[in-house]
């Protein structure tokens, strides 16, 4: 019994300082290595969970797996599967690279063990018009505690990205659980409603600087920042920080043709190390 509640407490603390269930958490080892400053990242499969609008620039079908362990505790394992499918093709000779009918993304995720677990299945859609990308997502959430049963809720989310200076400066915003879904009537427990806003700046083709803030409507704001440096085409190194959870982060990404492997580590000054790994496969364009 004590072990169960200890695991739950660590989980809630590590997700956010809000101590509430159902928060979106981290998606993808790239985001984890950047302090989860990911609201402006585009053309990335794991935008399906970080900011669905970022899917709009994904030009090829892609699938991936993501695994996370927090503080070397098996009860705190997290795993996700995701896939994205661009809709339609640009006419022959067109210089536009974004899909003409948008991109559909699907994600399934599970955290915890048989004593306590959270699961979600999410379906998202993103569309790009000019310099602006917009997206929407619906999640089916389930929280289960051994001996106490399960609770389910549906959460709707919106996201947007805008190129203030094309190829240089991007603004990203997302609103998670805009409908304030309820998990339980007792104490009116609801899924957290979270607003994120940030900027992504590319001073050069090899460097990406990220900064964002996240605000749970019932809690203090979190500031996050990250930097990514593309050493060579096949290797990127990353670092970041998150103030509210008091974590420093780092990691790297390897790119082998159609395959991308990312690793991220997050160090909490009290609880220790969390590790993240994601593997993505993107179909090559037809010749």
Contact 192, 179 (CB under 8 A): no
- Give bridge partners of residue 151 from the DSSP assignment: 143
pLDDT at 185: 64
pLDDT in tens, 208-243: 999 999 988 777 888 999 999 999 999 999 999 998
Q: What is the DSSP letter of 287?
A: -
pLDDT at 92: 60
pLDDT at 88: 83
Which residues are CB-neighbours of 73 under 8 A, at least 6 positions away? 7, 10
Phi, psi of 132 (to 5 degrees): -125, 135
pLDDT in tens, 141-156: 888 887 777 788 899 9
In this predicted structure, the answer to whether residue 107 has a pLDDT above a threshold of 50 is: yes
Burial of 84 (0-12, 13-18, 19+ CB in 10 A): buried
In this predicted structure, the answer to whether residue 137 has a pLDDT above a threshold of 70 is: yes
Contact 187, 21 (CB under 8 A): no
Q: State pTM to two decimals.
A: 0.86
Q: What is the DSSP letter of 23?
A: -
- Give bridge partners of residue 194 from the DSSP assignment: 176, 216
CA-closest candidate to residue 71, choices 262, 268, 279: 268
The two structure tokens encoding residue 260: 């991308």
């Amino acid at each position: 019994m004590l072990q169960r509640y200890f695991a739950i407490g660590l989980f809630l603390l590590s997700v956010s300082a809000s101590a509430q269930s159902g928060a979106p958490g981290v998606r993808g080892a790239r985001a984890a290595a950047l302090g989860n400053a990911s609201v402006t990242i585009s053309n990335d499969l794991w935008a399906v969970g970080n900011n669905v609008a970022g899917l709009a620039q994904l030009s090829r079908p892609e699938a991936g797996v993501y695994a996370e362990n927090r503080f070397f505790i098996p009860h705190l394992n997290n795993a996700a599967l995701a896939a994205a499918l661009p809709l339609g093709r640009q006419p022959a000779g067109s210089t536009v690279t974004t899909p003409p009918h948008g991109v559909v993304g699907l994600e399934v995720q599970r955290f915890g063990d048989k004593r306590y677990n959270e699961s979600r299945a999410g379906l998202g859609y993103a569309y790009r018009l000019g310099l602006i990308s917009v997206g929407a997502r619906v999640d089916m959430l389930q929280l289960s505690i051994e001996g106490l049963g399960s609770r389910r809720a549906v959460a709707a989310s919106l996201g947007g990205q805008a190129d203030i200076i094309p190829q240089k400066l991007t603004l990203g915003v997302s609103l998670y659980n805009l409908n304030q879904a309820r998990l339980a009537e007792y104490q009116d427990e609801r899924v957290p409603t979270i607003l994120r806003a940030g900027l992504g700046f590319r001073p050069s083709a090899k460097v990406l600087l990220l900064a964002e803030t996240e605000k749970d409507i019932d809690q203090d704001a979190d500031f996050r920042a990250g930097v990514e440096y593309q050493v060579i085409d096949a290797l990127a190194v990353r670092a970041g920080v998150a103030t509210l959870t008091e974590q420093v982060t780092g990691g790297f990404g390897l790119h082998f043709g159609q395959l991308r492997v990312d690793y991220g580590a997050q160090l909490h000054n009290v609880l220790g190390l969390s590790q993240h790994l994601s593997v993505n496969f993107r179909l090559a364009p037809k010749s």
